[in-house]
Homo-oligomer: A and B are copies of this chain.
Amino acid sequence: MARARIVDPEEGPRSKRGAILVAAVERFGEDGYENTKWSEVADRVGIGQTALYHYFESKAHCLLTIMRLELQRSHDMFVEATAGETEPVEELRVAVRAAFAVSDQEIRQMRILQANMSLLANPRKSKREETERVAARQLVQMVERDWTSLLMRGMAKGAFPVRDAHTLGLGVLGMIVSVWRWYRPTGAIALPEISEMIEGCVVRMIAE
């Protein structure tokens, strides 16, 4: 499985593209996209603002790239986690666990993704931005299909009661991703606890 890494090995040795993405994830993740100046990202990387345009067409293009990479990762993790599983309830469980098995940087990326999801709705004027947007949209649909097809398989096998798999899948996904809105690593409740709680909820919701 080719993981979606923020540092692309295809780049030249002098390239700061990866460093820009890492800095942008930090800033966008902490203060939010609108709240962070594009020039602050440049400062953090240690280059002038205009050098950013050597790597990204715009601030939005950088954001869309971050979102696309995170969606790719989410999809890949889902596929990897559920690959060997044939028992529907267990497949459901590992899928939920995979969704919460993330690093601190990935938490920030999920937060950025959730906070700016609506950016994917409207077309972009520039070509490269639009390419990233369309790719991200397709990945959103792919992740949705990951969940709905898991549910449909379980229903076909008789392990889950038959219900509208699409709406149900969106509900499960909605509950899972809503965590990234409020979860902070320094908060009162730890991620493994949340993961267990949600896992139980999802199983009761789907399998009973």
Please give the residue numbers on chain A whose beta carbons come within 8 Å of chain B beta carbons, in ascending order.
Answer: 31-32, 34-35, 115, 117-119, 121-122, 163-164, 166-168, 170-175, 177-179, 181-182, 189, 193-194, 197-198, 200-201, 204-205, 208
Contact = CB atoms under 8 A, between A and B. Distances in A.
A145 B166 CA distance: 30
B174 A179 contact: yes
Would you call the interface of chain A mostly helix, strand, loop, or mixed? helix
23 contacts: A32-B118, A32-B119, A32-B122, A115-B117, A117-B181, A163-B200, A164-B189, A164-B193, A167-B193, A168-B201, A171-B175, A171-B178, A171-B179, A171-B197, A171-B201, A172-B175, A173-B178, A174-B174, A175-B178, A178-B178, A204-B204, A204-B205, A208-B208
Given A164-B193, A167-B197, 5 more contacts: A115-B118, A118-B181, A163-B197, A163-B200, A171-B198
Nearest to A180: B174
Contacts of A177: 174, 178
Contacts of A172: 175
Contacts of A194: 167
Contacts of A163: 197, 200
Contacts of A189: 164, 166-167
A166 B115 CA distance: 22
Contact of A197 (B34, B168, B182, B197): B168
